[in-house]
């Protein structure tokens, strides 16, 4: 890895990147590659790198004593403005390191929060970022006033630093409460908005940041959502209509990108933003096939999905940017581990037809082929079946009609009439659909739209 020169005329901070590789870390070809991308996105110019392998972090400085001395010399030699760790530091470790190197020290979480703050565009995402920043800062307030704590105002009087600390802590805690309350309102409103789309099948794009989700969404839906070659370009959920071949219109949502060791406070803060993914019919996991850490990134996304309770959702894996692969062996290595993945290129449209067919097949799993027998005068139920499913055939006998249709199982539970007979298609398990019918006390078939 080569050091970068400062860019003339560009106001950016010179950064030294540091990482302590611990035994539980996933092996990577380039341990500082991702941190470089984060630092560049934040506007830093990389002027130096430092790696250390340790069995456990040093409790005072995270780095070992010898590496701290090496870092001091590196910062002085490169005239660095900031030291960025690819690890999470305690407040005490940050303070000790800043005292040693005599420059600003940031950890991984603080860097990611800074990028999120720069990219937040909507009211919701700005509130989410502010909440995450304040929750991160609260335990660190004490060290902001250490320089005043030695000042005394006489017996029985606390130093002004302590007074200011308590005042700041109350302000921060009050603001955190206000933000959580406001975000809860947004979350409830988002739940209602998503529920209002219940008549549409939905697919949510998920994946590692900068995997090409926004570009893919633009190609599939003909939209123009922001798509940039940088980390965390998208923080806000965007939903567009996708005319899915051999199916019809569905809703496609783009979500915030994930990352290795995504700070948990960010996941919590962006709960409302992730509501689309929570309620989706299918997850479309987009991975960057050109990234040397693609397999680790896929695993990292799966870990985040598990953290937010989405591991049970039906998921398709799409390997994007295959047109940029230097060697077919890169793709083969991923397909060996994920044989059902679909190679695509959003920029050249390669594989998008196969992807659309796979999405159609996956969505079809939520449907049931059923025979429904009813009175011919039951026009309301006939219209309901036509609106929410696919009517394949109709057979009339005297005053009864037998309709063979394909319909999402969730809509079968809304048919409530003892005069209506519903039986499974022969290929389905016996009784799989009958169990969805609820007790009825009205002879007129009803459709419960509030369900």
Report the CATH number that the domain containing residue 371 is assigned in CATH: 3.30.70
> Do 204 and 279 contact (CB within 8 A), yes or no?
no
Would you state the pLDDT for residue 225?
Answer: 59
Question: Distance between alpha carbon 345 and the CA centroid of its chain, in Å?
Answer: 21
| CATH number of the domain bearing residue 46 | 3.40.50.11060
The predicted-structure confidence for 162-191, as pLDDT tens digits, reads as follows 566 777 788 888 998 999 899 888 878 877
Would you state the pLDDT for residue 106?
Answer: 92
Per-residue burial over 2-15, b if 16 or more Cβ lie within 10 Å, else e, is eebeeeeeeeebbb
Which of 71, 106, 141 is a domain's end point? 106
Segment holding 117, helix H or strand E = helix 108-119
Total count of domains within the chain = 4
Half-sphere exposure at residue 317, Cβ-oriented, CA atoms within 13 angstroms: 19
Q: Are residues 297 and 359 in the same domain?
A: yes
Would you state the pLDDT for residue 129?
Answer: 82
With respect to residue 260, please indicate whether it lies within any of the assigned structural domains.
yes
Angle at 423 between CA 434 and CA 359, to 5 degrees: 85
Would you state the pLDDT for residue 450?
Answer: 36
pLDDT band, residue 284 (cuts 50/70/90): very high
The predicted-structure confidence for 116-127, as pLDDT tens digits, reads as follows 887 777 787 788
The predicted-structure confidence for 46-61, as pLDDT tens digits, reads as follows 999 999 999 999 999 9
**What torsion, rounded to 10 degrees, do the Cα atoms 44, 49, 50, 51 define?**
100
Q: Are residues 178 and 308 in the same domain?
A: no
Would you state the pLDDT for residue 194?
Answer: 63
Q: Are residues 224 and 359 in the same domain?
A: yes
Q: Average pLDDT, whole number, for the chain?
A: 78
Residue 149 has pLDDT above 50, yes or no: no
With respect to residue 9, please indicate whether it lies within any of the assigned structural domains.
no
Q: Are residues 188 and 268 in the same domain?
A: no
With respect to residue 421, please indicate whether it lies within any of the assigned structural domains.
yes
Domain range for 319 is 198-364
With respect to residue 115, please indicate whether it lies within any of the assigned structural domains.
no
Would you state the pLDDT for residue 428?
Answer: 37
> In terms of pLDDT, which residue wins out, 199 or 149?
199
Which residues are bridge partners to 375 per DSSP? 400
Would you state the pLDDT for residue 265?
Answer: 65
Angstrom CA distances, 406 to 203, 368, 386, 389, 433, stand at: 20, 5, 10, 6, 12
pLDDT band, residue 439 (cuts 50/70/90): very low
Q: Are residues 129 and 242 in the same domain?
A: no
Q: Could you tell me the pTM of the whole model? A: 0.70
Which of 106, 132, 156 is a domain's end point? 106
Q: Are residues 209 and 344 in the same domain?
A: yes
With respect to residue 322, please indicate whether it lies within any of the assigned structural domains.
yes
Would you state the pLDDT for residue 437?
Answer: 28
Mean pLDDT, residues 354-366 taken together: 86
With respect to residue 441, please indicate whether it lies within any of the assigned structural domains.
yes
List the one residue out of 216, 193, 221, 192 whose CA is nearest residue 206. 216
The predicted-structure confidence for 126-147, as pLDDT tens digits, reads as follows 888 888 888 888 877 755 544 4
Would you state the pLDDT for residue 285?
Answer: 94
Angstrom CA distances, 159 to 148, 232, 258, 259, stand at: 7, 42, 44, 43
Q: Are residues 276 and 218 in the same domain?
A: yes
**End-to-end alpha carbon distance in the chain:** 57
Which of 150, 170, 193 is a domain's end point? 193
Q: Are residues 154 and 279 in the same domain?
A: no
The predicted-structure confidence for 237-262, as pLDDT tens digits, reads as follows 678 889 888 777 888 988 777 777 77
| CATH number of the domain bearing residue 268 | 3.40.50.300
- Distance separating alpha carbons of residues 306 and 293, to the nearest angstrom: 20
Q: Are residues 305 and 424 in the same domain?
A: no
The predicted-structure confidence for 377-419, as pLDDT tens digits, reads as follows 888 888 888 877 778 888 888 888 888 887 777 677 677 767 7
With respect to residue 278, please indicate whether it lies within any of the assigned structural domains.
yes
pLDDT band, residue 210 (cuts 50/70/90): confident
With respect to residue 417, please indicate whether it lies within any of the assigned structural domains.
yes
Q: Are residues 30 and 65 in the same domain?
A: yes
The predicted-structure confidence for 2-47, as pLDDT tens digits, reads as follows 444 443 333 578 999 999 999 887 777 788 988 998 898 888 999 9
Q: Are residues 203 and 318 in the same domain?
A: yes
Q: Are residues 351 and 324 in the same domain?
A: yes
């Amino acid at each position: 890895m080569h050091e970068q020169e400062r860019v003339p005329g560009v106001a950016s901070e010179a950064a030294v990147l540091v990482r302590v590789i611990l035994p539980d870390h996933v092996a990577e070809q380039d341990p500082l590659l991702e941190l470089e991308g984060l630092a560049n996105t934040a506007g830093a110019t990389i002027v130096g790198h430092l790696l250390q392998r340790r069995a456990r972090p040093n409790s005072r400085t995270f780095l070992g004593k010898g590496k701290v001395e090496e870092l001091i010399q590196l910062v002085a030699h490169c005239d660095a403005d900031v030291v960025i760790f690819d690890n999470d530091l305690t407040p005490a470790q940050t303070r000790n390191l800043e005292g040693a190197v005599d420059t600003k020290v940031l950890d991984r979480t603080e860097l990611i929060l800074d990028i999120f703050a720069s990219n937040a565009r909507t009211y919701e995402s700005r509130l989410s970022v502010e909440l995450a920043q304040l929750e991160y800062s609260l335990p660190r307030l004490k060290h902001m006033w250490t320089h005043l704590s030695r000042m005394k105002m006489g017996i029985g009087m606390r130093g002004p630093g302590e007074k200011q600390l308590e005042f700041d802590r109350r302000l921060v805690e009050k603001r955190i409460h206000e933000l959580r309350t406001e975000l809860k309102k947004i979350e409830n409103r988002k739940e209602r908005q998503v529920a209002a789309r219940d008549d549409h099948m939905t697919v949510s794009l998920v994946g590692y940041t900068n995997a090409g989700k926004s570009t893919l969404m633009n190609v599939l839906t003909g939209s123009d959502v922001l798509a940039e070659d940088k980390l965390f370009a998208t923080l806000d959920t965007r939903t567009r209509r996708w005319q899915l071949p051999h199916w019809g219109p569905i809703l496609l949502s783009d979500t915030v990108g994930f990352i290795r060791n995504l700070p948990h406070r960010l996941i919590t803060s962006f709960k409302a933003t992730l509501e689309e993914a929570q309620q989706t019919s299918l997850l479309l996991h987009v991975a960057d096939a050109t990234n040397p850490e693609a397999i680790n990134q896929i695993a990292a996304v799966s870990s985040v999905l598990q953290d937010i309770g989405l591991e049970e959702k039906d998921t398709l894996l799409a390997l994007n940017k295959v047109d940029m692969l230097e060697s077919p062996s890169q793709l083969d290595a991923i397909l060996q581990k994920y044989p059902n993945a679909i190679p695509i290129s959003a920029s050249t449209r390669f594989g998008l037809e196969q992807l659309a067919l796979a999405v159609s097949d996956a969505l079809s799993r939520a449907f049931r082929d059923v025979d429904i027998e009813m009175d011919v005068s039951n026009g309301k139920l006939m219209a309901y079946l036509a609106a929410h499913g696919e009517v394949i055939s109709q057979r009339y006998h005297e005053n009864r009609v037998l309709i063979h249709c394909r319909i999402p199982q969730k809509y079968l539970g809304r048919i409530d009439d003892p005069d209506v007979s519903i039986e499974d298609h022969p290929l389905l398990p016996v009784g799989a659909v009958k169990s969805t019918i609820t007790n009825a006390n009205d002879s007129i078939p009803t459709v419960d739209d509030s369900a």
